[in-house]
């Protein structure tokens, strides 16, 4: 038993240093924001454990990368990144899981639970659920071929959640560019952040009810970026009377690879959500950014990384919170 423990520790240590070396190589000499090393002493294996468990989850279900990335977004847009999205409803508590954008849609809770359980065994009451979410989102992007960044740590887990705020703050898929910009500015993010972060739709799936508005003929104008063949194929896909569980990839060309293909699709009229296609159909400023990302994928990666850091720091300064022992319930 003791030998097994030593072996396990060695494997973890080896993995930790290999992982740290990869991170150091990737970051170079760039100065790290305050808080990136806060678990270095209290839980040095935390990042390596999260990485390997996310990797395992994706190997079992390739869509999980997309689901974990989205979970972090839906957390951060509701009173900051404080793991409020993970709280379960109880008899006298209403969480965010039944809010319109989340119900029957958000996935990945079990993966976060498994990571939390493992971390509680190794360094109890140390790593917040909100930090796990932010790190799992980063790892999901990296494992799908996207950019790497160093996650700023130190988030606290909330004592509360807000279904109303989830309904109000999370943008709807039938939004115009003005509506999208308003939702992002509401939490302190810019139009540029909105276009860059929408690139997350380079992975994952959306269900028919979320793009019905895209299929209605009244919304299809004679726009150079409309693609009637694509619309017809979606109409066909969603033609069943109960299409609530039918879905398709947000990026049909490279569905599981984090790349700039999402923006390429927009220019050929193959954005799945109305809000995706609106980035080129509805606004010159957003279309120019899309064109830049098509011409230069590195600009997309750089902007995505920076906007994820901005989104991930929403509410980071809040001191009111705790380190939950179980991400689904306050201590």
Please give the residue ranges that form the binding site for ligand HEM (CB under 6 A): 63, 66-67, 69-70, 73, 105, 107, 171-173, 175, 180, 194, 197-198, 200-201, 203-207, 210, 247, 250, 273, 275
Cα–Cα distance between 153 and 131 in angstroms, integer?
6
Cα–Cα distance between 143 and 107 in angstroms, integer?
18
Q: Which is nearer to ligand HEM, 11 or 246 (CB)?
A: 246
Q: Which is nearer to ligand HEM, 126 or 257 (CB)?
A: 257
Point out the catalytic residue in the list 72, 74, 125, 201: 74
Q: Which is nearer to ligand HEM, 101 or 321 (CB)?
A: 101
Residue 298 Cβ, how far from ligand HEM at the closest point, in Å?
A: 19
Q: Is 299 exposed, middle or buried (0-12, 13-18, 19+ CB in 10 A)?
A: middle
Residue 291 Cβ, how far from ligand HEM at the closest point, in Å?
A: 18
Cα–Cα distance between 270 and 229 in angstroms, integer?
9
CB 151, CB 132: distance < 8 Å: no
Side-chain half-sphere CA neighbours of 113 within 13 A: 9
Instruction: Please give the residue whose beta carbon sits closest to ligand HEM in the complex.
Output: 204
CB 101, CB 148: distance < 8 Å: no
Q: Which is nearer to ligand HEM, 173 or 269 (CB)?
A: 173
Residue 206 Cβ, how far from ligand HEM at the closest point, in Å?
A: 3
Question: Position of tokens 């969603």?
Answer: 238
Residue 67 Cβ, how far from ligand HEM at the closest point, in Å?
A: 4
Q: Is 28 exposed, middle or buried (0-12, 13-18, 19+ CB in 10 A)?
A: exposed
Q: 64-76 and 109-122 are packed helices; what angle lies between their axes, rounded to 10 degrees?
A: 80
Residue 1 Cβ, how far from ligand HEM at the closest point, in Å?
A: 40
Collect contacts of 94-100 with beta carbons under 8 A, ≥24 apart: 94/161, 94/163, 95/161, 95/163, 96/161, 96/162, 96/163, 96/165, 96/166, 98/163, 99/163, 99/166, 99/167, 99/170, 100/166, 100/167
Q: Which is nearer to ligand HEM, 76 or 115 (CB)?
A: 76
Residue 301 Cβ, how far from ligand HEM at the closest point, in Å?
A: 14
Active site residue 201: no
Q: Which is nearer to ligand HEM, 6 or 182 (CB)?
A: 182
Which among 142, 144, 279 has a CA at the least distance from the CA of 223?
Answer: 279
What residues are annotated to the active site? 74
């Amino acid at each position: 038993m003791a030998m097994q423990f030593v072996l396990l520790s060695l494997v973890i240590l080896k993995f930790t240093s290999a992982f740290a070396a990869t991170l150091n190589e990737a970051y170079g000499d760039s100065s790290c924001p305050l808080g990136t090393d806060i678990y270095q002493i209290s839980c040095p294996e935390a990042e390596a454990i999260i990485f390997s468990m996310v990797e395992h989850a994706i190997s079992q279900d390739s869509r999980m990368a997309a689901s974990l990335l989205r979970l972090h977004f839906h957390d951060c847009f509701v009173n900051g990144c404080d793991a409020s999205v993970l709280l379960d409803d109880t008899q006298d508590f209403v969480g965010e899981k039944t809010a319109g954008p989340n119900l029957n849609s958000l996935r990945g809770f079990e993966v976060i639970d498994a990571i939390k359980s493992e971390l509680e065994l190794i360094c109890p009451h140390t790593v917040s659920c909100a930090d796990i979410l932010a790190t799992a989102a980063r790892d999901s992007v990296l494992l799908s071929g996207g950019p790497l960044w160093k996650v700023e740590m130190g988030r606290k887990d909330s004592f509360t959640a807000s279904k109303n705020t989830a309904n109000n703050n999370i943008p709807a898929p039938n939004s115009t560019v003005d509506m999208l910009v308003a939702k992002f500015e509401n939490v302190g993010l810019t139009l540029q952040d909105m276009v860059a972060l929408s690139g997350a739709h380079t992975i994952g799936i959306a269900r028919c009810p979320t793009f019905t508005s895209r299929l209605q003929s009244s919304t299809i104008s004679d726009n150079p970026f409309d693609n009637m063949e694509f619309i017809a194929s979606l109409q066909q896909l969603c033609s069943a009377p109960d299409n609530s569980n039918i879905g398709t990839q947000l990026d049909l060309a490279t569905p599981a690879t984090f790349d700039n293909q999402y923006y390429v699709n927009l220019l050929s009229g193959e954005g799945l959500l109305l809000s995706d296609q609106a980035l080129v159909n509805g606004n010159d400023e957003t279309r120019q950014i899309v064109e830049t990302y098509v011409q230069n994928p590195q600009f997309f990666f750089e902007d995505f990384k920076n906007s994820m850091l901005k989104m991930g720091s929403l509410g980071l300064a809040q001191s009111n919170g705790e380190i939950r022992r179980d991400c689904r319930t306050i201590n």
